[in-house]
Structure 1
Amino acid sequence: MHTAEDILKALDEITGGRVIQSLQEVHKQEHPFVIKKSSGLPGKEIMETPGLVYGDRNREVKKLAVTMTMTEGSIELAGATGVDAIIAHHPIAEAANSGGVTLKNYLDLYNITVFELHEAFHGLHPGISFLHGHEVYHTDISYGGLEGNVLFVGKALPDVTTLEDILNRLDSYMGLEEENNLLFLEKEIRKNNAVTETSVVTRGRILRGEPESPVKHIIHIFPHTGFTPDHLRQAAKEHPEADTVIASISRVYDGHELIRTAEELNLNFLVGNCHVLEILENGLPLAYALDMLLPDVEVVVFRERVTSYPARLVGTPQMMKYAERMASKYLIKKKLAELS
């Protein structure tokens, strides 16, 4: 029999001792991976507590799910499929990750134990750089003194010589042709050509350079972590051999100042995998490691698929009538009366 304590020990093994062992480490805030994050928005700050977030250490775990961000969808799927514990990559917050209600009530309902492992997992394997076609020779997980601001500098792999090679590599590894086929089928089944899906519309593309532009040394950044044009200038100064910038997990769009800075520095600029694919980049290696350490525990991966529809084309004809009725009769009744 395996327990939540065994899961915690496995995570400690995987991270080389980065998980917290007691709440004392949270209260003291001396643990290097107990990190408070805040944009200054009232009541919205969060503290990362890598390890056991909620549940009894002695609770038995037969089935374990790995996910990126725990949601009410994750909790419901866990309850319906006999999952005893969820490991979320992203930090867990009261209500935000439990359908707007308190974590305790929702998790207790289905007897689910929860762990998180965010910054404490970063930098443990070279998978993201490998998938993007380079071998890292310099890593900084708090570049410029900013916690979580990750920078990789790497040399292109032997079979990667151009920007197009990177894009082809990503399409192949991430199965984007399959995702595109799924989207095509969904459009056919729903008779709705306006449907879009995250991994398809955010696939990698070149923002500066040409498909045949040569690649040898890469500065790999993650814009959502706070990476600025000044950071890029500094990185290019520290690594004058670099010829290409890859932005992945998050991305930038045409006109962004990071692209202008790359032009100023005469660097190619390519956006790679988006955040939704991190379940494959980081989630899958974690799931495999847990499966290896805990062979008697069934390990599954919860993968989200986010689609977009025009509001008035969502659901069955009955649901469209339902939405129209609820909106007009209850939500904007006063405004409609004024207009009439």
Structure 2
Amino acid sequence: MNEVIKVKDILHALDKITGGRCVKSLDDVFSGRNKFVIMKSSNIPGKACMEMPGLICGNLEAPVKKIAVTMTLTECNIELAGATGVDAIVAHHPVVDAANSGGVTIRGYLNLYGLSVFELHEAFHGLHPGIAYIHGHKAFHADIAYGDIPGNVLYVGKVLPGVSTLGAILDRLNEFMGMQEEQKMLLSEKNLRNCHDICETNVATGGKLLVGTRENRVDTILHIFPHTGFTAQHLEMAKQEHPDADTVIASISRVGTESDLVKKAEELGLNFLIGNCHAMEILENGLPLAMALQKILPEVEVVLFRERITSTPLNKVGTTAIRDYADYIASEYLVNKEGGTGRPA
């Protein structure tokens, strides 16, 4: 007879995977002893978020037969889980009431489908060398709070055997992330919908060079993540600490050619390469996490939730019926309101 896996077993597995970084009690949340319980705030009133790695919502004794690993919890995730027999969702990114549950309070929505939800985020960062590996280098130094900023990650690495140029890094990314398949999927959608103006995140945000050519040699890499707060001043400091560095890789998030980071790289004589975007982290971090859970809890089924985000011109969205519906609602109820034209004077 197979052992019954419960929500508490998932928490134990996640705590094992993270080396004890998960919250096990309320004391962990409020005592300050768990450094991975972090407040994130842009000082927008009422929009702060507290990261709490571990169980966010659910009954520790509830049985689990199927787990889904996702990047960011959304109402689409919740609905897919409810429709496909998922009992627990492990989200990489922090979960916030309403924001991650379709604008409604999260507990009631999850309870409706008998779902438990976990989060990890910063508690998962720095546990493995995978993101560096995918980008063609082996990190010999990792800092997940560079400049004393939690979550401001810096990897410093030496290129792997066979990866000697910027072009080799770009080719490696395309192979690992299945970019040919992503391009074929997008082309199929364009043809099916008879709309060649559809854009899709993974295809639109592939790797690219901002400073340097495909033939430029690479040896020592500064791997940064611009959205975490990594600045031009940090880059200058990192170059001073690692004078052999010749290349900057920016991944998860991206910058443009006019970025201060790019200008500083040029000033310092560094190549600058854009790597995988945030949408690919489901494969970089999510897939290893899912496989680790499967190895620790072989009795349960583990699946990966992936999202494709597309951009479509309004005159090509959906069916004629739904476009006519939207036009009617917009015209009769949203634009031509009593007492106004719907346009500024």
Q: Shorter chain as normaliser: what TM range?
A: over 0.9
* Deviations, residues 11-47 of structure 1 (Å, cap 9, x unaligned): 0110110101012211223311100110100000000
Residues 105 and 211 of structure 1: CA distance in aligned 2, closer, same or farther (over 3 Å): same
Structure 2 residue aligned with 1:159: 162
> Aligned partners of 2:288, 2:91: CA distance in 1, in Å?
14
Match for 2:34 among 22, 31, 35?
Answer: 31
> Aligned partners of 1:18, 1:71: CA distance in 2, in Å?
24
Residues 326 and 16 of structure 1: CA distance in aligned 2, closer, same or farther (over 3 Å): same
Q: Gapped runs of 5+ residues in structure 2?
A: none
Structure 1 residue aligned with 2:10: 7
* Deviations, residues 166-217 of structure 1 (Å, cap 9, x unaligned): 0000000000000000000000000000100000010000000001000000
Letter in 1 for 2:213: E
Structure 2 residue aligned with 1:75: 78
Please say if residues 36 and 46 of structure 1, whose CA atoms lie closer than 8 Å, have aligned partners that are also in contact.
Answer: yes
> Aligned partners of 1:44, 1:141: CA distance in 2, in Å?
24
Structure 1 residue aligned with 2:273: 270
> Aligned partners of 1:247, 1:201: CA distance in 2, in Å?
16
Match for 2:202 among 175, 199, 204?
Answer: 199
The answer as to 2:193 corresponding to 1:190 is: yes
Structure 2 residue aligned with 1:124: 127
Tell me, what secondary structure is at the counterpart of 2:209?
strand
For residue 313 of structure 1, report the CA deviation from its aligned partner: 2.0
Match for 1:247 among 232, 241, 250?
Answer: 250
Structure 1 residues 77-156: aligned runs within 5 Å: 77-156=80-159
Structure 1 residue aligned with 2:52: 49
Q: Which moved more, 1:309-318 or 1:142-151?
A: 309-318
Count of residue pairs brought into register by the alignment:
339
Please say if residues 334 and 342 of structure 2, whose CA atoms lie closer than 8 Å, have aligned partners that are also in contact.
Answer: no
> Aligned partners of 1:276, 1:23: CA distance in 2, in Å?
32
Identity %: 58
> Aligned partners of 2:331, 2:10: CA distance in 1, in Å?
50
> Aligned partners of 2:25, 2:79: CA distance in 1, in Å?
28
Please say if residues 203 and 273 of structure 1, whose CA atoms lie closer than 8 Å, have aligned partners that are also in contact.
Answer: yes
Q: Gapped runs of 5+ residues in structure 1?
A: none
Structure 2 residue aligned with 1:221: 224
> Aligned partners of 2:284, 2:16: CA distance in 1, in Å?
20
Match for 1:316 among 309, 319, 333?
Answer: 319
If the length of structure 1 is used for normalisation, what is the TM-score?
0.98
Structure 1 residue aligned with 2:182: 179
* Deviations, residues 57-85 of structure 1 (Å, cap 9, x unaligned): 00000000000000000000000000000
> Aligned partners of 1:45, 1:338: CA distance in 2, in Å?
33
Tell me, what secondary structure is at the counterpart of 1:119?
helix
Please say if residues 244 and 268 of structure 1, whose CA atoms lie closer than 8 Å, have aligned partners that are also in contact.
Answer: yes
For residue 338 of structure 1, report the CA deviation from its aligned partner: 8.6
Please say if residues 67 and 87 of structure 1, whose CA atoms lie closer than 8 Å, have aligned partners that are also in contact.
Answer: yes
* Deviations, residues 119-150 of structure 1 (Å, cap 9, x unaligned): 00000000000000000001100000111100
Residues 265 and 27 of structure 1: CA distance in aligned 2, closer, same or farther (over 3 Å): same
> Aligned partners of 1:111, 1:337: CA distance in 2, in Å?
43
For residue 253 of structure 1, report the CA deviation from its aligned partner: 1.1
Structure 2 residue aligned with 1:292: 295
> Aligned partners of 1:110, 1:179: CA distance in 2, in Å?
32
> Aligned partners of 2:111, 2:342: CA distance in 1, in Å?
45
For residue 336 of structure 1, report the CA deviation from its aligned partner: 4.3
Letter in 1 for 2:115: I
Letter in 2 for 1:226: G
Tell me, what secondary structure is at the counterpart of 1:212?
coil
> Aligned partners of 1:77, 1:338: CA distance in 2, in Å?
39
> Aligned partners of 1:180, 1:336: CA distance in 2, in Å?
43
Letter in 1 for 2:299: D
